[in-house]
């Protein structure tokens, strides 16, 4: 069982247009809505592969009801914590060449009691879980230390904990030493405070974090795949997708595949390959649709324990 906590979930609306022109009226060729928020996407990706998962999330307002309906339709088990504000709606504008412009709302203001209720619900479900994972931005009112507190409390219960976030909440969580983190290239650079143009720079930054006590650092690198670093291993995996459709939620699918692999007994390199496969499959799908078992077929993943560290990264 993998328990996800999404303090700031969303309804994701994807709008398809030919080209984005600032300040002009666009007639969209179509659109879709999906349940959203990073932990929600991790749970959706797991549920789509029939893996056990529960998503813990705040629910409020009409968008909250819609989110619950969408999760029910997708067969995603969820634990809704009622809040007085309204779940946000995030918009992705998708152009035919794969260019994605995202507009993310801040989310509802949570009261201290609502934040406590979210943590309590997550800890209740953590018992017996293989992993608890805290994902995404924090809504207004949630303390910067929310993920750091989650890490400490989950670890006390003997359960492994992962975090995927950004900015100050991510830095605070990293200081609390979760078992696993999954920054993307930009988030890792932000965390260590300097640019990481080559794979060797990413490896060095990840090594520093491992030396500080994080067991697994998995860095997603967009079209360059992902690099996983532990105290004993450096592994790179990559899948080539010739015409990516939408990268929204790809990192969440990658994290879901990685955690699923680890909790199913795969070695870290094999689990990384599973993660990269799920992430690559996600970019072949519209909006933030998550891959079905069929979508994973026929995508070859190259994995190596001796990556070319001189590789310059595109992302
Ligand atoms: N253009 C692409 N081609 C192939 N795979 C991709 C592409 N973009 C993303 N991926 C896959 O999705 C994963 C997550 O992508 P990334 O953009 O790094 O995450 P995030 O969504 O967190 O920013 C990558 O590790 C890779 O497996
Ligand atoms: O919590 P944040 O950082 O605002 O991100 C939330 C958004 O990110 C997503 O989880 C997608 O993730 P990506 O950043 O990987 O595209 C959406 O479902 C959601 O709208």
Does residue 245 have a pLDDT over 90?
no
Does residue 135 have a pLDDT over 80?
yes
Is 310 a member of any domain?
no
Nearest 5°: the CA angle 104, 65, 122 is 75
162, burial (CB in 10 Å: exposed 0-12, middle 13-18, buried 19+): buried
Is 144 a member of any domain?
yes
Q: How far is the CA of 290 from the centre of ligand 1 (A)?
A: 13
Is 253 a member of any domain?
yes
DSSP 289: P
Is 8 a member of any domain?
yes
Least Cα distance to 85 among 56, 60, 58, 66 occurs for: 60
pTM higher than 0.90, yes or no?
A: yes
**Residues 135, 173: contact at Cβ < 8 Å?**
no
Query: How many structural domains compose the chain?
Result: 1
pLDDT digits (tens, 9 = 90+) for 70-114: 999 999 999 999 999 999 999 999 998 878 899 999 999 999 999
Mean pLDDT for 148-159 is 97
Predicted confidence band of residue 244 (pLDDT cuts 50, 70, 90): confident
For residue 252, indicate whether it is catalytic.
Answer: yes
Mean pLDDT for 29-50 is 96
User: Which one is catalytic: 34, 164, 201, 252?
Assistant: 252
Q: How far is the CA of 310 from the centre of ligand 2 (A)?
A: 30
- Residue nearest atom 27 of ligand 1, based on CA coordinates: 276
pLDDT digits (tens, 9 = 90+) for 163-188: 999 999 999 999 999 999 999 999 99
**Residues 85, 141: contact at Cβ < 8 Å?**
no
- Residue nearest atom 22 of ligand 1, based on CA coordinates: 251
- Residue nearest atom 12 of ligand 1, based on CA coordinates: 279
Is 233 a member of any domain?
yes
Does residue 264 have a pLDDT over 90?
yes
Is 314 a member of any domain?
no
CA distance 155 to 135: 17
Can you give the residue range of the structural domain that contains 42? Answer: 2-20+29-304
Output the domain CATH number for residue 83: 3.40.1190.20
Mean pLDDT for 40-56 is 98
Predicted confidence band of residue 315 (pLDDT cuts 50, 70, 90): low
Is 312 a member of any domain?
no
What ipTM does the predicted assembly reach?
A: 0.97
Residues of the chain above pLDDT 90, percent: 94
Q: What are residue 110's phi and psi, to 5 degrees? A: -100, 140
195, burial (CB in 10 Å: exposed 0-12, middle 13-18, buried 19+): exposed
3-state DSSP assignment of residue 123: helix
Does residue 255 have a pLDDT over 80?
yes
| Average pLDDT over the chain, rounded to an integer | 96
Mean pLDDT for 32-51 is 97
Starting from the CA of residue 55, give the closest ligand.
2
Q: How far is the CA of 173 from the centre of ligand 2 (A)?
A: 18
Element (H, E) at 42: helix 38-48
Is 36 a member of any domain?
yes
Residues of the chain above pLDDT 70, percent: 100
CA distance 11 to 34: 6
């Amino acid at each position: 069982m993998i328990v996800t906590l999404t303090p700031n979930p969303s309804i994701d609306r994807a709008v398809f247009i030919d080209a984005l022109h600032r300040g002009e009226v666009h007639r969209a060729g179509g659109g879709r809505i999906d349940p959203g928020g990073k932990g929600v996407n991790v749970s959706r990706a797991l549920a789509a592969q029939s893996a056990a998962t529960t998503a813990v999330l705040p629910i409020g307002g009409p968008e909250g009801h819609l989110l619950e309906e969408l999760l029910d339709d997708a067969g995603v088990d969820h634990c809704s914590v009622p809040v007085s504000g309204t779940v946000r709606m995030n918009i992705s504008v998708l152009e035919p060449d794969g260019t994605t412009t995202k507009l993310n709302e801040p989310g509802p203001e949570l009261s201290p009691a609502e934040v406590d209720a979210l943590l309590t619900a997550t800890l209740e479900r953590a018992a017996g879980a293989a992993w608890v994972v805290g994902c995404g931005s924090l809504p207004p009112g949630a303390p910067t230390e929310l993920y750091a507190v989650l890490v400490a409390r989950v670890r006390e219960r003997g359960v492994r904990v992962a975090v995927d976030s950004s900015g100050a909440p991510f830095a605070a969580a990293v200081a609390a030493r979760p078992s696993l983190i999954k920054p993307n290239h930009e988030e890792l650079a932000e965390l260590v405070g300097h640019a990481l143009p080559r794979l060797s720079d990413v490896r060095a930054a990840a090594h520093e974090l491992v030396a500080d006590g994080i067991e697994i650092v998995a860095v997603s690198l967009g079209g360059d795949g992902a690099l996983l670093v532990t105290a004993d291993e450096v592994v790179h995996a990559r899948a080539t997708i010739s015409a990516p459709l939408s990268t929204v939620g790809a990192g969440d699918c990658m994290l879901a595949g990685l955690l699923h692999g680890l909790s199913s007994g795969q070695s870290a390199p094999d689990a990384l390959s599973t993660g990269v496969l799920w992430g690559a499959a996600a970019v072949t799908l519209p909006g933030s649709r998550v891959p079905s078992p069929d979508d994973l077929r026929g995508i070859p993943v190259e994995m190596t324990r001796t990556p070319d560290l001189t590789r310059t990264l595109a992302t």
